[in-house]
Each structure stands twice: as C-alpha cells, then as structure tokens.
Amino acid sequence: MPEGHTIHRLAQDYAAAFLGTEPQVTSPQGKFSDAAALLDHAELTHTEAHGKHLFLGFRESTWIHIHLGLFGKVNFGATPAPPPTDTVRLRLANNTSYVDLRGPTTCALITDTEKQAIHARLGPDPLRQDADPTTAYTRISRSRTTIAALLMDQKVIAGVGNVYRAEVLFRHGIDPYRLGRDITPTEWTALWTDLVALMREGVRNNRIDTVRPEHTPEAMGRPPRVDDHGGEVYVYRRANLPCHLCGGEIRTADLAARNLFWCQACQAD
DNA sequence: TCCTTATGTACAA
DNA sequence: TGTACCTAAGGAC
C-alpha cells in the first residue's frame, strides 16, 4: 500500500529491526548484488522517509534509495529467514529479523549529495517535521491545473497518493476539477491540517482510514465495507456505489492516467 | 492458465 | 498523451 504513510511506517520498522546492527545484505534476485556486497555487514545508522521515498543510511555516509512504485512490497519476519524467492531484490538479515523487498521501482545506492537532490525536488511532506505547507500553497494558488492533479504532484506535496487525494477532497467538499488558483488559503490550511492528521493515523495503523466516527458503518446502520484495500473510506474505489453521506452515486473518471473517485453532489463548488 | 488490476513514476514523442 | 517497468492477487475461463 505505497502512499506516504506506508513509507514512513517502513522507515520506523526498518529502524526497529536493524538500526545499530550490522545486517547481512543480499540481493537474491541479483539486480542489486554489487551494491549489496558493498554494504554487507555495514552498520545501519539512519532510516528516513520523504513522501514515497525511503532512505536507509549505512556507515553514516551511504544510502540505499528505495521507491516502491505501484507494485513494491516489503515483508518483515523473525529469524530464521526462509530461503528467498527469486523476486527478492534486497534482503537484510541480522540475529533476530529479516526483511525482504520485492518489486520496487527504485533500489539504488546513492551518495549524500544525490539524496539532497531528491529532497530538493520533493514538496513538503505532511508527515515530516520540516514541512512548510505554504511552499505548496504558493504553487497551488498560481496553478491552472486541477487540485486533483496537484495533490498527486510530488513536487507540490510529497506523500499523497490516489487514496488520500480522493478522500481528503471528499472530506472537504471540494470538486476535484477545481483549479489550484481557486483554492482559498483557508481551504488549503484545512486540507493540509487534515492530511497531517489522516496520514499520521495511517502510519500508526498501517492502513488508510478516512471515515469520521459518525459516518462509520456501525454509526450509519449500513453493512461493513467490502473493499479489500484495507481501510474504511468515503469514495476511493467505490464507483457506482451510494455515497455514505448523500446516497448519490459515486463517480469515477480517468485523470492523468489514474482513477479519480468523487461524489458530485457532496463535492460541488 | 490467462487476463485484469493496483495506493507510482519516468521518459519518449 | 502514451507506454514501459516492477509483482502478485483475484477472477474469468
């Protein structure tokens, strides 16, 4: 489930299992073998996330840059580690834990300078202490692009993906096709504040829940969710189903090659 | 067994 | 805007 909350959770989980230890580093699949050999039994000294980018720091100087893309998955376990399957790009293993990375879009050895360049091209991340939401609003308020597209643009704001995009716009009654320049400062403050809260909860629970307590299935007297993405949501992947609030049909459309979901009645300008 | 789909991004034209 | 890339699960046959 790779949106920003997943990556921040992974940074915590990698740290909990491996920080301060000198794990065996291997690439059973082979695509990362050379780099793995360089880091084998080096101390893991840092883990960090910015948006959907994960950084594992070794020996205070060298980083593994990981981006899960759409398909990447990470699996932690206790030793003894089972024999790796042939899709494991990266495995760390110490005396107590192992972790396997499969299918990442990026898994590369980078320097501190290269890492700085990645931070520089990413927008503020609601899950980071150093995030400044006004830099995002500066871009949004000048843009003729839709707010739905802007929220997915990692240069504008880092870590929001298709689920948080759809859900936060619903929670604030904002039409996804509204242009960035028509989003008021008040609306942006509310969106950002809500993203901080939702994504923090996402890290804590390792899943995305966006439905307010008063709108849960129990509170509304409707059947529990049937979707399998893991959390309780208002509109994401609920095309043609009734809106939890107004009963209208949830709409879906293609926007920049991604599926957009929204309730036309609840999200009118 | 094949086909579709997915919470993402980069690059070519 | 289209396409390529990486993997695995679920559903249609």
What CATH number is given to the structural domain containing A14?
Answer: 3.20.190.10
* Closest nucleotide over all strands to A87 (CA to C1'): C7
Same domain, A139 and A116: no
Same domain, A47 and A145: no
Q: What is the pLDDT of residue A226?
A: 62
Same domain, A142 and A59: no
Distance of A113 CA from C1 C1′ (whole Å): 33
Q: Does residue A268 fall inside a structural domain?
A: no
The three-class DSSP label of residue A111 is coil
Whole-model pTM: value is: 0.96
* A119 Cβ contacts chain B strand, under 7 Å: no
Q: How many CA atoms lie within 13 A of A140 on its CB side?
A: 30
Specify the number of domains making up chain A.
Answer: 2
DSSP state of A179: B
Residue A259 CB contacts under 8 Å (≥ 6 apart), including other chains: A162, A237, A239, A252, A253
Rounded Cα gap, residues A40 and A180, in angstroms: 47
Is A258 assigned a catalytic role? yes
Same domain, A145 and A242: yes
Same domain, A27 and A78: yes
Q: What is the pLDDT of residue A269?
A: 76
pLDDT in tens, A25-83: 999 999 999 999 999 999 999 999 999 999 999 998 899 999 999 999 999 999 999 99
Distance of A64 CA from C1 C1′ (whole Å): 33
> In this model, does residue A229 exceed pLDDT 80?
no
Q: Does residue A117 fall inside a structural domain?
A: yes
Average pLDDT over every residue of A196-218? 94
Q: Does residue A211 fall inside a structural domain?
A: yes
Range of the domain at A151: 133-263
Q: What is the pLDDT of residue A227?
A: 64
Is A126 assigned a catalytic role? no
Which token pair is A210?
Answer: 């966006």
Task: Please identify which of the residues A73, A139, A237, A258 carries the catalytic annotation.
Answer: A258
Q: Does residue A13 fall inside a structural domain?
A: yes
Q: Which of A121, A153, A188 is the last residue of a domain?
A: A121
